[in-house]
Amino acid sequence: MSEDIQKLKEENERLTKINSVKSEIVSIGAHQIRTSLAALKWIIKMFLDGDLGKLNTEQETLLRKAYDGNERAIGLVSEILLINKSEQVVEKEYVFEEINLVDIIEGTIFDFSGESTARGIEIIFLKPSTNGIPHVKADKEKIRVVFQNLIENAIKYSNYHGKIFISIKLNDDDFVQVSVKDSGIGISEDSKRQIFEKFYRTEKAQKKEAMGSGIGLYTTKKIVENHGGKVWFDSIEGHGTTFLFTVPVWEK
Ligand code: ADP
């Protein structure tokens, strides 16, 4: 190995280490801030609920403002934690093993059942009737993040009473293909190019869902590509979106 390549390798290792220490500091700091904000939330709530005596109108108005501001701060810190976690997940070493994607899909749908029911949304898994879907070569933790991001988005950007269809098939002999289809707000032609960019959110999405970081699809793309697969989408604004991705079949 030439001296230059060795130097680059060492520099890369040094930067990776610095980045990991940074992530840890952000994580510890953000958790501490969120714990303090959560404590503050319950104290203000006790006042607002009248547990500590009746408030006059002025006191109540001010405390309501404090409560709302505190809620926004909790939301922001939660977003910081999410971004930080996503970066850690993508960068962490990949451990590939033989995985049954059907189990992961079912588990993730179960995890989101409370959220989807609360929004009146039905998630339908078009599970293959035969045992025809081969196992794939994947990192379990990371591929679960891909499903979480796609299903969470399908729920967030669907309208009340929307339906989400998830299907899985063998694409060719080498890849299993999964699709997550919603009938939600869709993505405009102008936005399509940028959809996988880090921190990108469409205006429509921001109006529908104030909370969001624009990190989910960026993370999804990185993870799928690190598996040797592809991710893409079809969408018609106002009618819905289908995200699709492939994962390589497990070779015995
Ligand atoms: P977030 O959902 O936190 O904004 P993502 O990276 O997951 O971030 O998604 C980026 C953007 O892509 C979203 O803000 C939204 O504009 C668009 N998007 C993603 N999934 C969908 C979907 N199922 N339907 C419509 N728009 C979507």
How far is the centre of ligand 1, averaged over its atoms, from the C-alpha of 224 (Å)? 17
User: In whole angstroms, what is the distance from residue 158 CA to residue 235 CA?
Assistant: 13
Nearest CA to ligand 1 atom 19: 153
Of 115, 174, 112, nearest to 144 by C-alpha is 112
Same domain, 102 and 79: no
Q: Is the pLDDT of residue 93 over 80?
A: yes
Same domain, 198 and 243: yes
What is the chain's mean pLDDT, rounded?
A: 92
User: In whole angstroms, what is the distance from residue 87 CA to residue 50 CA?
Assistant: 43
Same domain, 54 and 138: no
Residue 65 included in any domain: yes
CATH number at residue 54: 1.10.287
Same domain, 162 and 241: yes
Same domain, 193 and 163: yes
Q: Is the pLDDT of residue 148 over 80?
A: yes
Nearest CA to ligand 1 atom 18: 153
How far is the centre of ligand 1, averaged over its atoms, from the C-alpha of 167 (Å)? 20
User: In whole angstroms, what is the distance from residue 63 CA to residue 214 CA?
Assistant: 32
Residue 213 included in any domain: yes
Same domain, 141 and 243: yes
Of 166, 184, 168, nearest to 176 by C-alpha is 168
Residue 92 included in any domain: no
| CB-CB contact of 141 with 184 (8 Å) | no
Assign residue 162 a region: left if phi > 0, alpha if psi is -120 to 50, beta otherwise?
beta
**Residue that finishes a domain, picked among 86, 109, 133:** 86
Mutation test of ligand 1: which of 145, 163, 180, 201 has the most ligand atoms closer than 8 Å to its C-beta? 201
Report residues whose beta carbon is within 6 angstroms of any ligand 1 atom: 149, 153-154, 156-157, 182, 184-187, 195, 200-202, 205, 212-218, 241
Q: Which structural domain, as residue segments, surrounds residue 101?
A: 97-248
Same domain, 25 and 146: no
- The sheet with strand 231-236 has its strands ordered as 122-126, 163-170, 175-182, 240-248, 231-236
The total domain count for the chain is 2
Name the phi and psi angles at 138, rounded to 5.
-150, 160
Q: Which atom of ligand 1 is nearest to the CA of 213?
A: 3
Q: Which atom of ligand 1 is nearest to the CA of 217?
A: 6
User: In whole angstroms, what is the distance from residue 227 CA to residue 194 CA?
Assistant: 22
pLDDT confidence tier of residue 73, bands split at 50, 70 and 90: very high
Same domain, 168 and 77: no
Q: Is the pLDDT of residue 36 over 80?
A: yes
Residue 54 per-residue DSSP state? P
Residue 242 included in any domain: yes
How far is the centre of ligand 1, averaged over its atoms, from the C-alpha of 16 (Å)? 28
Q: Is the pLDDT of residue 201 over 70?
A: yes
**Residue that finishes a domain, picked among 86, 107, 139:** 86
Tally of CB atoms within 10 A around 231: 20
Residue 91 included in any domain: no
Q: Which atom of ligand 1 is nearest to the CA of 157?
A: 24
Mutation test of ligand 1: which of 90, 112, 121, 153 has the most ligand atoms closer than 8 Å to its C-beta? 153
User: In whole angstroms, what is the distance from residue 214 CA to residue 206 CA?
Assistant: 10
Q: Is the pLDDT of residue 3 over 80?
A: yes
Residue 166 included in any domain: yes
Residue 15 included in any domain: yes
The pLDDT tens digits for 94-142 are 999 999 999 999 999 999 999 999 999 999 999 887 667 999 999 999 9
Per-residue burial over 187-197, b if 16 or more Cβ lie within 10 Å, else e, is beeebeeebbe
User: In whole angstroms, what is the distance from residue 240 CA to residue 164 CA?
Assistant: 10
Report pTM. Answer: 0.80
User: In whole angstroms, what is the distance from residue 207 CA to residue 212 CA?
Assistant: 11
Helix, strand counts (H, E) of the chain:
8, 7
Residue 221 included in any domain: yes
Please, how many CA atoms are within 13 Å of residue 114, restricted to the half-sphere of its CB?
A: 1
CATH number at residue 224: 3.30.565.10
Same domain, 39 and 135: no
Q: Is the pLDDT of residue 187 over 70?
A: yes
Same domain, 114 and 62: no
